[in-house]
Structure formats: C-alpha cells, structure tokens
Amino acid sequence: MGCPGASGPGPRAWVLRLLLGLAAWRGGAGGRSPVCGCCPGPARNGSSVASYCRAHPALELRGRCCVGPEPGAIVGLDLGNCSLTLLCAGFPDASAAVVIDLTENPLENIPNASFQGFTRLQSISLPLALECPGGSMAWDRITTHRDSRTCQGQRNPCNSSGELAWLCPENSLCSPDGPGLVQCLCAGSYHGYKCLREGTFPMLLFYGILGAVTTTLSLLAWGTQRRKAKAS
C-alpha cells in the first residue's frame, strides 16, 4: 500500500512534484498522449468508454481515449481487445480517468500500484481472470460477465467507518490515492519521516543558500571574464 512512513514535502519531494506536475500537464494534452494510440483503431463502439463519452456532450473520442475539452484530460480509456500482456507505457497519463476498459486482453497480473493516483476512477472492466485493482474491498459493486469483471464505485480507503480503514501515523492525515491506496500527508507544521518533526520547513534557508551559491558563481564568472577582457 502507499504508506511507507509518511513524509512532508522535503526539497526532493518538491522536485518530484514539479516533475509529476509536468507529466500531468503533458498528460493533460489528452488525445495526444501515447496511451490513446497504444492500440490501433478507435475506442470500440459499445464499450463502456464509448457509451460514457457519447452520454457526455462535452467529451469526445480521440483514438482509444475519451477526452474532455482543451486541455483535454483523459476521462475514459478503452484498451479492450489490444493483445496486451502488460499495461502500455503512458498508462499513468490516464490517472484522471473515470472509466477504463481492459477486457479481451491476455493480461496476467496488474500491480495495484499501477493505479496510484487514479482517484476519480468509478468503473473499470477487466478480463475475468484479474481481481479488481486494490482488491474487492476497494469497490462498492463488482459484477462478473462471461469473460469479464467490472468493478464500480471506488471506495474511500480513508473512511474510518468502512472496512478498509487505513491508519496513518500520528500528526498525519489520510488522503485517497487510487483504489485501495492512500497517502499519509503530514498535518499542519509537521514534516519529515513519519511526520515526527515539527516546525516549518526551512525553505528560506534552502533558497538563501541556493541564492548565495548562484550569486558567488556568477560574480566569479564575471570577474574572470573582466580579467580576460582587460588582458586582451
């Protein structure tokens, strides 16, 4: 599950967030994400994704994706009948998807972590051989058909009255992070490993040092250039 000792936003986490933000922004360029072309052809007519997309006039089908208005987040993804044994690269671009179809594929196993960040997912159809992402407890309704399984209504794993009830360390708050997955975010001014440190992150100090180093380097470079210029 997603919680090996919660930590506050350290500098590395910020860099990571920036990169993830950029990735999400790229993913936001909806229909142009490689995941929409991961399998040839359009979304299958009659798939849950195509029906969902037709039922919402603001959405449109692009390749295997159903995308929202520009910047076009991926709202639906139909990768049915794609001969997939593994999920395509670019699958995380669909983390804002509400409906996903992976049926009629020789998929063997999908790690639960593949759905990290898929907090809006409300319906996913899979080959019958696969369990629902995050386990059956992560969903409200599970229906099986001849050769597929549909998992609907993602449960909130942070709901303390539900069976999933996930415990975050003291000083941290539970936040859903996909089917059966949670994030423990440090509360208030706590930060660091398991949110055990209190006080604001010394951001000023960090940027102060960064600024001082940059200034020194530029002054050095400027000095060197000037000396070179004088000598010539």
Tell me the C-alpha distance between 144 and 188, whole Å.
Answer: 44
Exactly one of 116, 152, 156, 175 binds ligand NAG (CB under 6 A); which one? Answer: 156
Q: Are 7 and 169 in contact (CB under 8 A)?
A: no
122 sits near ligand NAG (criterion: CB under 6 A): no
Residue range at the interface with ligand NAG (CB under 6 A); choices 28-36, 68-76, 154-162, 182-190: 154-162
Q: Are 61 and 83 in contact (CB under 8 A)?
A: no
8 sits near ligand NAG (criterion: CB under 6 A): no
At residue 115, what are phi and psi to the nearest 5 degrees? -105, 20
Q: Are 17 and 92 in contact (CB under 8 A)?
A: no
- 3-state SS of 12-29 is HHHHHHHHHHHHHHHHHC
162 sits near ligand NAG (criterion: CB under 6 A): yes
Binding track, positions 191-230, relative to ligand NAG; x by CB under 6 A: ----------------------------------------
154 sits near ligand NAG (criterion: CB under 6 A): no
Residue range at the interface with ligand NAG (CB under 6 A); choices 88-96, 153-161, 182-190, 201-209: 153-161
Q: Which of 140, 5, 126, 123 is nearest to 66 (CA)?
A: 123
Exactly one of 7, 33, 112, 148 binds ligand NAG (CB under 6 A); which one? Answer: 112
161 sits near ligand NAG (criterion: CB under 6 A): yes
Exactly one of 8, 92, 117, 134 binds ligand NAG (CB under 6 A); which one? Answer: 134
Residue range at the interface with ligand NAG (CB under 6 A); choices 69-77, 121-129, 158-166, 168-176: 158-166
CB of 170 to ligand NAG, least distance (A): 22
Tell me the C-alpha distance between 198 and 189, whole Å.
Answer: 6
Q: Are 133 and 180 in contact (CB under 8 A)?
A: yes
- What residues contact 53, with CB distance under 8 A and at least 6 apart? 43, 59, 60, 61, 66, 75, 76
81 sits near ligand NAG (criterion: CB under 6 A): yes
Exactly one of 11, 106, 135, 211 binds ligand NAG (CB under 6 A); which one? Answer: 135
Residue type for 162, please? G
Nearest-CB residue to ligand NAG?
135
Tell me the C-alpha distance between 111 and 108, whole Å.
Answer: 10
Contacting residues toward ligand NAG, per CB under 6 A: 44-45, 81, 109, 111-112, 134-135, 156, 159, 161-162, 180
